[in-house]
Amino acid sequence: MGDRLDVRYFPLVLDVVDHGVFTVDPKGSITSFNRAAEAITGYSEQDVVGRQCSEVFRTSLCDSICPLRRSIASRARVRNREVRIHAKDGRLIPISLSTAPLETAAGDLLGGVEVFRDMSHIHALMRRIDNHYKFEDILSRNPEMHRIFKLLPPVAESRSTILITGESGTGKELLAKAIHSHGSARRRPFVAVNCAAIPETLLESELFGYRKGAFTDAVRDKPGRIAQAEGGTLFLDEVGDLSRTLQVKLLRFLQERIYEPLGSTTARKANVRVIAATHRNLSAMVEEGVFRRDLYFRLNVMEIPLPPLRERSEDIPLLTQHFIRRFREVTGKPIDGISPRALAALMRYDFPGNIRELENLIERAFILCEGAEIDTDCLPSNLWPQESEYSGRSEAPAGHLNLLNRRAIEAVLGRHNGNRTRAARELGIHRTTLIRRLKKYGSKGR
């Protein structure tokens, strides 16, 4: 066996490596910076040596769970964390990083090393894929949602009042923001008011504002949400919760585009587009006499009904992967997918809380999971069948779980016409893992 490589040659070796590599001393000051790191970040070695790495890269993990600092403190390796770093020109660059402590043969700590690779091209490819199923920040493969996507550009360009209906958690405010950002008033304010969250006694002043002296605590004039939204969009969420008195005042505003702040005797004109939303059945409320018919028709110039998540189950894998990417970036945890078994549990669940509930489940899973993918032990027990469904047995039979897994995989394969590579990408697993599971369940796919 030949002589060991002289340590003097290590910098030359590192400059041949395609990945960015830098080292720090025990206090986090950068001690070396290879050429690939220079190419990715735009910093030269002279720019960064002697500076704290947190001062250079300014990632979301620097002040909380810095992987390099953790490696130095615990003398353990951290692998494949995804995060965004700031390049010298200010750009945010997505990277995947691994860290390890630097120790002598005697166990003395010298500092730490970080190896990272630029993920920009992968993220760009993922955005291209997502954009086939995306309008603004709304993701869907559902045909009904795509029909809505086609409606949104002409709806956004108009200034007509829009009524968005749908269950809680279906993304009504997200849709309202998408309409606003695609319209001519996109550079003007978007002001949201939740009519159910503000007490009736305060809601009128919140909407219309008030003049000094209008009531005991009115020590100065205060503009309302309508004035704040001037030239832009006023989003009235849960408009079905308005009192009859406020219904009358809102009707006048919608008809004449004028309003009076509390304590004022002068009407003010407003150039504001109104988008309203509700989870209630306003038509039924009109028949019951609790919602004004004329206001209902004034709001309902164009109704956009959002389907609940249980009616667009094909979106569950897409949304799940979207939330995994988001929380992976926020938390730095190396979770990059979900097991077919766990995905099957999500796909058979009704999601009464809709997309908001799915997002909360993935956030919970990131708190609990220690592995590289979300499995069933990271999900609440209520996502699984009750004991009565299995004749009193305390656990679901393995055959039933296999059936759920197989159905989840077959559903994804069906959407991609049997293409295993695309199906694996959607499931968040490697293609070889998918092939192994296909053999296990006896499913087919090319």
User: Average pLDDT of 236-247?
Assistant: 94
Q: pLDDT, tens digit, for every residue of 84-99?
A: 888 888 888 888 888 9
**For residue 441, is pLDDT > 70?**
no
Contact between 82 and 92 under an 8 Å Cβ cutoff? The reply is no
pLDDT on residue 406: 66
Q: pLDDT, tens digit, for every residue of 46-100?
A: 999 999 888 888 776 666 678 888 888 888 888 877 778 888 888 888 888 889 9
The pTM (predicted TM-score) of the whole model is 0.65
Report d(CA 125, CA 134) in Å as an integer: 14
Report d(CA 361, CA 403) in Å as an integer: 23
Higher-confidence residue of 323 and 436: namely 323
Task: Kindly indicate whether the domain formed by 135-307 is annotated with CATH number 3.40.50.300.
Answer: yes
Pairing assessment for the beta strands 20-24 and 30-33 based on DSSP bridges? antiparallel
- Residue-range domain boundaries for the chain: 7-118, 135-307, 312-441
CATH number of 312-441: 1.10.8.60
pLDDT on residue 331: 81
Contact between 77 and 98 under an 8 Å Cβ cutoff? The reply is yes
**Going by C-beta distance under 8 Å and a sequence separation of 6 or more, which residues neighbour residue 101?**
71, 72, 74, 75, 76, 77, 109, 111, 112, 113
User: Average pLDDT of 291-298?
Assistant: 95
Q: pLDDT, tens digit, for every residue of 140-172?
A: 888 899 899 989 999 998 989 999 999 999 999
Q: pLDDT, tens digit, for every residue of 179-197?
A: 999 888 889 999 999 999 9
Task: Kindly indicate whether the domain formed by 7-118 is annotated with CATH number 3.30.200.20.
Answer: no
**For residue 404, is pLDDT > 50?**
no
Q: pLDDT, tens digit, for every residue of 11-27?
A: 666 777 788 999 999 88
